[in-house]
């Protein structure tokens, strides 16, 4: 894909975030979509490309009244929306459609109109993981952590600092669910969920949604908002079975997707002003910093513990408060993308001054999938 | 009210030999006849070189503790927390998820790289699960 040939011209979250007991999941999609369409100054009839995950594209298109000529139902977990951005950019460039709407919504907390997630007993996960007591992401996602810690010399306190620093960012964000300051001791004394992880190292469970609108850069100047250009993209998948990852010392999907995006963008790590690394659990920013090549894995824990990613630090990371403190409806990737777009528009609640390049890195289905989008506000 | 039971595997044509093995007290892996790659979970071709000529064989049942969590909540049906969910690295190379039996479910007792050996746990007439316990001696 050519750098900066496609731009985000509309971006919005649902009107409310957090606990939304008066809206079903499909209506959360519509709420986010209508907000994004208003943000872009468009009509629904202007949308000719559509992508979403979990819900089928036909479900949401019919509900919204959209007649697309291009659809993408890629559903690989919480980073599906990064993949949608990548696919949409390619589709726009190929002339398959002109204006793409990407929606995410999840009634993760209130569970209204939410499709059940189940593992069939004759799937490989059903045969070779479920019988051993895995039960939802908190029991699966942290399984690699102890090995990662041993291999790279990472401490419990350093991983606890991920949650502490993100709470500092959340305190600046009126829409964040959790804003009260916390300490390393608070994290390490919070309720045990799945050793080594405690409550404050696990993401929130909330309701919400978000939507993005993409079009070609040559059309982007006609829109009311400052365009946010797509500078580089990457994606990959590894395995839905956490036990079958090639190694627990890194994520193969991260190591494919991240460097692809950097290569396409033609940037170096020192060029990055703002970084989002999907933090469903507190270890993910450490994997991300290492797998995306920001630093050797051994240094990731110390880098965060030393305050380099906190407000005022040299690499602002997860500036909305992240999945740990901002919100996490189940598929957080859309909210990471929204924060990158806000930062590039210069309107984030905790705005990074003069930020010009934002890297947004997502994970999906435990470590099953990954997508990376690099944005810029300069052509 | 009857207690909810542990999730039970349902074999497929491609995995039946593995579950026949555990029932017979054997941990069966597959080796590629073409490139010698040993792999898991079961499938009738080599995920490394795509050869369909593969052979199931009885593994040593020995391995070491690669990583784990001790799950407190929410507990899966049929489990009493806290319980460890472990990934075992077999001596033959592949890793598999399992539980560690005959061992306290604590960080002090569960030490990474400790040696383990397979211990079979019969669920019913069809399914026996491969569990692991600290290796003797």
Average pLDDT over residues A235-246: 98
* Distance from C-alpha of B82 to C-alpha of A192, rounded to nearest angstrom: 10
Paired tokens of A169: 């960012």
Note whether B71 contacts A136, CB cutoff 8 Å: no
Q: Give residues with Cβ within 8 angstroms of A270, minimum separation 6.
A: none
Average pLDDT over residues A308-323: 98
> What is chain B's length?
137
Note whether A121 contacts B8, CB cutoff 8 Å: yes
Tell me the shortest Cα–Cα distance from B117 to chain A, in angstroms: 16
DSSP A10: E
- We report the CATH number of the domain holding residue A16 as 3.40.47.10
Contact status of A197 with chain B (Cβ, < 8 Å)? yes
Note whether B12 contacts A122, CB cutoff 8 Å: yes
Note whether A139 contacts B76, CB cutoff 8 Å: yes
In a domain, A140, yes or no: no
- The closest alpha carbon to A125, from A136, A138, A111, belongs to A136
Question: For residue range A179-230, what is the model confidence (pLDDT) as tens digits?
Answer: 999 999 999 999 999 999 999 999 999 999 999 999 999 999 999 999 999 9
In a domain, B7, yes or no: no
Question: For residue range A60-111, what is the model confidence (pLDDT) as tens digits?
Answer: 999 999 999 999 999 999 999 999 999 999 999 999 999 999 999 999 999 9
Question: Is A282 within 8 Å of A19 (Cβ atoms)?
Answer: no
Residue A62 — left, alpha, or beta (φ > 0 → left; ψ -120 to 50 → alpha)? alpha
Does residue A241 register a pLDDT over 90?
Answer: yes
* Distance from C-alpha of A109 to C-alpha of A328, rounded to nearest angstrom: 9
| CB-count burial class (<10 Å; 0-12, 13-18, 19+) for A3 | middle
Reported as a pLDDT band with limits 50, 70 and 90, residue A308 is very high
Question: Is A195 within 8 Å of B70 (Cβ atoms)?
Answer: yes
Question: For residue range B41-64, what is the model confidence (pLDDT) as tens digits?
Answer: 999 999 999 999 999 999 999 999
Residue A235's domain spans which residues? 6-113+204-376
In a domain, B69, yes or no: yes
Paired tokens of A18: 């957090």
Note whether A142 contacts B12, CB cutoff 8 Å: no
Which residue of B66, B69, B97 is in closest CB contact with A129?
A: B97
In a domain, A120, yes or no: no
CA dihedral A35, A38, A39, A45 (to 10 degrees): 100
Full 3-state SS string of B1-34 = CCCCCCCCCCCCCCCHHHHHHHHCCCCEEEEECC
Continuous H helices in chain A: 25-40, 57-64, 80-94, 124-128, 137-140, 145-152, 156-170, 184-189, 217-220, 252-265, 284-291, 297-305, 322-325, 333-345
* Distance from C-alpha of A207 to C-alpha of A216, rounded to nearest angstrom: 31
Which residue of B10, B74, B79 is in closest CB contact with A127?
A: B10
In a domain, B121, yes or no: yes
In a domain, A127, yes or no: no
Reported as a pLDDT band with limits 50, 70 and 90, residue B4 is confident
In a domain, A78, yes or no: yes
In a domain, A19, yes or no: yes
Contact status of A129 with chain B (Cβ, < 8 Å)? yes
* Distance from C-alpha of A371 to C-alpha of A175, rounded to nearest angstrom: 25
- The closest alpha carbon to A162, from A362, A339, A310, belongs to A310
ipTM attached to this prediction:
0.97
* Distance from C-alpha of B86 to C-alpha of B64, rounded to nearest angstrom: 10
Tell me the shortest Cα–Cα distance from B68 to chain A, in angstroms: 5
Terminal Cα-to-Cα distance of chain A (whole angstroms): 15
pLDDT value at residue A2: 82
In a domain, B50, yes or no: yes
Which residues from chain A sit within 8 angstroms of residue B83, using beta carbons?
Answer: 133
DSSP A144: T
Q: How many CA atoms lie within 13 A of A189 on its CB side?
A: 5
Which residue of B9, B40, B72 is in closest CB contact with A131?
A: B9
Residue located via tokens 């699960």: B129
Question: For residue range A97-121, what is the model confidence (pLDDT) as tens digits?
Answer: 999 999 999 999 999 998 777 899 9
Burial A188-215 (b: 16+ CB within 10 A, else e): bebebbbbbbbebbbbbbbbbbbbbbbb
Reported as a pLDDT band with limits 50, 70 and 90, residue B1 is very low
Query: Mean of the per-residue pLDDT values for chain A?
Result: 97
| Domain count within chain B | 1
| Domain count within chain A | 1
Which residues from chain A sit within 8 angstroms of residue B5, using beta carbons?
Answer: none
Residues 61-100 of A with CB under 8 A from B: none
Continuous segment of H or E residues that includes residue B117: strand B115-122
Contact status of A312 with chain B (Cβ, < 8 Å)? no
From B123, which residue of chain A is nearest by alpha-carbon distance?
Answer: A131
Which residue of A127, A242, A244 is in closest CB contact with B9?
A: A127
pLDDT value at residue A326: 96
pLDDT value at residue B2: 52
Reported as a pLDDT band with limits 50, 70 and 90, residue A266 is very high
Q: Are strands A99-107 and A49-52 parallel, antiparallel or unpaired?
A: parallel
In a domain, A195, yes or no: no
Residue B57's domain spans which residues? 16-134
Does residue A3 register a pLDDT over 70?
Answer: yes
Average pLDDT over residues A3-18: 96
């Amino acid at each position: 894909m050519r750098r900066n040939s496609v731009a985000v011209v509309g971006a919005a979250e649902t009107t409310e975030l957090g606990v939304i007991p008066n809206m079903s999941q499909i209506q959360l999609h519509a709420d986010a979509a209508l907000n994004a369409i208003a943000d872009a100054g468009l009509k629904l009839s202007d949308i000719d490309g559509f992508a979403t995950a979990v819900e089928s594209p036909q479900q949401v298109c019919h509900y919204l009244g959209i007649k697309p000529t291009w659809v993408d139902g890629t559903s690989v977990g919480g980073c599906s929306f990064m993949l949608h951005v990548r696919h949409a950019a390619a589709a726009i460039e190929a002339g398959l459609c002109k204006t793409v709407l990407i929606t995410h919504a999840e009634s993760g907390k209130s569970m209204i109109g939410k499709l059940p997630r189940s593992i069939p007993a004759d799937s490989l996960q059903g045969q070779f993981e479920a019988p051993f007591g895995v039960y939802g992401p908190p029991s699966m996602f942290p399984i690699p952590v102890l090995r990662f810690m041993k291999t790279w010399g990472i401490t419990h306190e350093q991983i606890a600092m991920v949650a502490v620093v993100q709470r500092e960012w959340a305190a600046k964000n009126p829409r964040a669910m959790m804003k009260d300051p916390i300490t390393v001791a608070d994290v390490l004394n919070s309720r045990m969920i799945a050793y080594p992880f405690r409550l404050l190292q696990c993401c929130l469970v909330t309701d919400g949604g978000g939507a993005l609108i993409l079009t070609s850069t040559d059309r982007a100047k006609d829109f009311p908002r400052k365009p946010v250009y797509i500078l580089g993209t990457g994606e990959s998948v590894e395995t839905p079975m956490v036990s079958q990852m090639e190694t627990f010392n890194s994520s193969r999907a991260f190591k494919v997707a991240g460097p692809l995006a950097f290569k396409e963008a033609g940037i170096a790590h020192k060029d990055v002003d703002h970084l989002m690394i999907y933090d469903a659990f507190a270890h993910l920013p450490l994997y991300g910093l290492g797998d995306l090549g920001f630093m050797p894995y051994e240094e990731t824990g110390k880098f965060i513990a030393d305050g380099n990613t906190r407000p005022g630090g040299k690499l602002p990371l997860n500036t909305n408060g992240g999945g740990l403190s901002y919100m996490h409806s189940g598929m957080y990737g859309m909210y990471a993308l929204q924060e990158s777009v806000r930062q590039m528009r210069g309107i984030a609640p905790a705005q990074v001054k003069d930020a010009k390049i934002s890297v947004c890195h997502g994970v999906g289905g435990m470590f099953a999938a990954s997508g990376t989008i690099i944005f810029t506000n300069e052509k | 009210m009857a207690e909810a039971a542990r999730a039970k595997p349902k074999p497929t044509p491609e995995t039946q030999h593995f579950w026949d093995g555990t029932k017979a007290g054997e941990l069966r892996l597959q080796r590629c006849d073409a490139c010698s790659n040993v792999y898991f979970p079961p499938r009738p071709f080599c995920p490394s070189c795509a050869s369909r000529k593969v052979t199931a064989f009885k593994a040593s049942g020995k391995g070491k503790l690669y990583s784990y969590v001790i799950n407190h909540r929410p507990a899966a049906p049929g489990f009493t927390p806290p319980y460890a969910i472990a990934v075992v690295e077999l001596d033959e190379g592949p890793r598999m998820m399992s539980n560690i039996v005959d061992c306290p479910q604590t960080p002090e007792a569960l030490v990474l790289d400790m040696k383990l050996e397979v211990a079979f746990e019969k669920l019913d007439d069809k399914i026996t699960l491969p569990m692991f316990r600290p290796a003797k001696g």
